[in-house]
């Protein structure tokens, strides 16, 4: 970092910001932080400014009160060391900008790259032999709601599907209706090994905590739980990306 009066210092190739700066007052100094730096670069530059002012103040007091002259190289070493500590301790992240890269490296700051997105592999898993799997979903708008489901066997063969308007103005209630309808259909078809899968975590939790079920659906829910207790029954959660087919069926019921 240099100002207009330090052009001669360019011969050593060291210029942290690679800018010619004009400072008329302290406000001009802080305006430097308003540039489009990355968060980590910005906080590092703030640390540079604070440490420069602190080094000047310290050198001035040593000269005035202790009659000691601080060598400029010693001050620069202290400034870079203190700035490096601040930049490395920060939780802020840098950008992929080459300018940010050069500034942080010249100040001995370890670059904190942006957090990479978490990638999860999602796929539909078929049931075991002699089992039937049903994926269910629900959808709602301002006036109505619906549910849908698809039954498949261990060979991923389509057995049956359903899409029903529930008339309820709640997505969660529609999701529960889809789960209950799946149990009712499976029991009527004598599919006694049933794997139910939903993209609603609340629906999955409702099977272990009935207090989550709205009172309006409580009687039907108890009947379905009685049916499922006579079956080999499991329930699991799947991400929406693995439930897209049923999501389309559920949306049919709310489409004008």
* Pair (63, 136) in one structural domain: no
Looking at the domain assignment, is residue 124 inside a domain?
no
Rounded distance between C-alpha atoms, residue 254 and residue 142, angstroms: 10
What is the share, in percent, of the chain residues with pLDDT greater than 70? 90
Q: pTM for the complete prediction?
A: 0.58
Looking at the domain assignment, is residue 125 inside a domain?
no
> Half-sphere exposure of residue 63, counting CA atoms within 13 Å on the CB side?
10
Among 5-19, 205-219, 224-238, the range scoring the smallest mean pLDDT is: 5-19
pLDDT band at residue 168 using 50, 70 and 90 as cut-offs: confident
* Pair (137, 26) in one structural domain: no
* Pair (136, 239) in one structural domain: yes
Q: What is the pLDDT of residues 179-209, one digit of tens each?
A: 999 999 999 999 999 999 999 999 999 999 9
pLDDT at 222 over 70: yes
pLDDT of residue 96: 77
DSSP string of 15-66?
-SS--EE--SSHHHHHHGGGSS--HHHHHHHHHHHHHHHHHHHHHHHHHHHS
* Pair (59, 149) in one structural domain: no
**Contact indicator for 53, 92 with CB cutoff of 8 Å:** no
* Pair (177, 243) in one structural domain: yes
pLDDT at 223 over 50: yes
Where is pLDDT greater, at 210 or 121?
210
Give the domain range for residue 95: 2-106
Q: How many domains does the chain fold into? A: 2
* Pair (139, 244) in one structural domain: yes
Where is pLDDT greater, at 1 or 216?
216
Phi and psi at residue 218, in whole multiples of 5°?
A: -65, -45
Looking at the domain assignment, is residue 138 inside a domain?
yes
Q: What is the CATH number of the domain that holds 142?
A: 3.30.420.10
* Pair (89, 160) in one structural domain: no
pLDDT band at residue 9 using 50, 70 and 90 as cut-offs: very low
Looking at the domain assignment, is residue 94 inside a domain?
yes
Looking at the domain assignment, is residue 114 inside a domain?
no
Among 126-130, 215-219, 245-249, the range scoring the smallest mean pLDDT is: 245-249
* Pair (84, 138) in one structural domain: no
* Pair (87, 197) in one structural domain: no
Q: Quick one: three-class SS letters along 90-136?
A: CCCCCCCCHHHHHHHHHCCCCCCCCCCCCCCCCCCCCCCCCCEEEEE
CA angle 104, 108, 110 (to 5 degrees): 65
Interacting residues of 111 by C-beta distance below 8 A, sequence separation 6+? 40, 94, 100, 101, 104, 105
pLDDT of residue 133: 97
pLDDT of residue 11: 36
pLDDT at 245 over 90: no
**Contact indicator for 85, 105 with CB cutoff of 8 Å:** no
Kind and range of the H or E element at 250?
helix 244-252
CA angle 245, 249, 254 (to 5 degrees): 140
Q: Report in angstroms the alpha-carbon separations of 16 from 12, 43, 102, 189, 198.
A: 12, 15, 8, 75, 55
Rounded distance between C-alpha atoms, residue 42 and residue 195, angstroms: 53
* Pair (13, 82) in one structural domain: yes
pLDDT of residue 21: 61
* Pair (154, 239) in one structural domain: yes
Q: What is the pLDDT of residues 21-74, one digit of tens each?
A: 666 777 777 777 777 788 888 888 888 888 888 999 999 998 989 888 988 888
Q: Which of 104-113, 139-148, 197-206 has the highest mean pLDDT?
A: 197-206
* Pair (137, 236) in one structural domain: yes
Rounded distance between C-alpha atoms, residue 103 and residue 107, angstroms: 6
Looking at the domain assignment, is residue 22 inside a domain?
yes
Looking at the domain assignment, is residue 140 inside a domain?
yes
Handedness of CA 53, 57, 62, 64 (dihedral sign): positive
């Amino acid at each position: 970092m240099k100002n207009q009066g330090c052009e001669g210092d360019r011969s050593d190739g060291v210029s942290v910001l690679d800018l010619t700066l004009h400072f008329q007052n302290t406000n001009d100094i802080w305006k430097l932080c308003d540039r489009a730096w990355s968060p980590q670069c910005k906080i590092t530059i703030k640390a540079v400014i604070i440490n420069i002012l602190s080094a000047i103040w310290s050198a001035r007091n040593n000269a005035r009160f202790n009659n000691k002259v601080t060598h400029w190289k010693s001050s620069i070493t202290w400034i870079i060391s203190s700035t490096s500590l601040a930049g490395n301790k920060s939780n802020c992240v840098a950008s992929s900008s080459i300018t940010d890269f050069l500034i942080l490296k010249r100040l001995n700051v370890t670059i904190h790259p942006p957090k990479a997105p978490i990638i999860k592999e999602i796929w539909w898993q078929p049931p075991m032999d002699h089992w039937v799997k049903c994926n269910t979903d629900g959808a709602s708008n301002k006036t109505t709601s619906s549910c849908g489901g698809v039954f498949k066997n261990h060979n991923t063969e389509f057995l049956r599907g359903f899409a029903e308007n529930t008339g309820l103005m709640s997505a969660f209630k529609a999701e529960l209706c889809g789960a209950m309808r799946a149990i009712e259909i499976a029991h009527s078809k004598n599919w006694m090994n049933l794997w139910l899968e939903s993209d609603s975590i609340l629906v999955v939790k409702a099977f272990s905590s009935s207090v989550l079920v709205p009172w309006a659906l409580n009687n039907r829910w108890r009947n379905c739980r009685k049916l499922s207790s006579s079956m080999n029954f499991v329930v699991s959660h799947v991400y929406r990306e693995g439930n897209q087919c049923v999501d389309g069926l559920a949306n049919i019921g709310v489409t004008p």
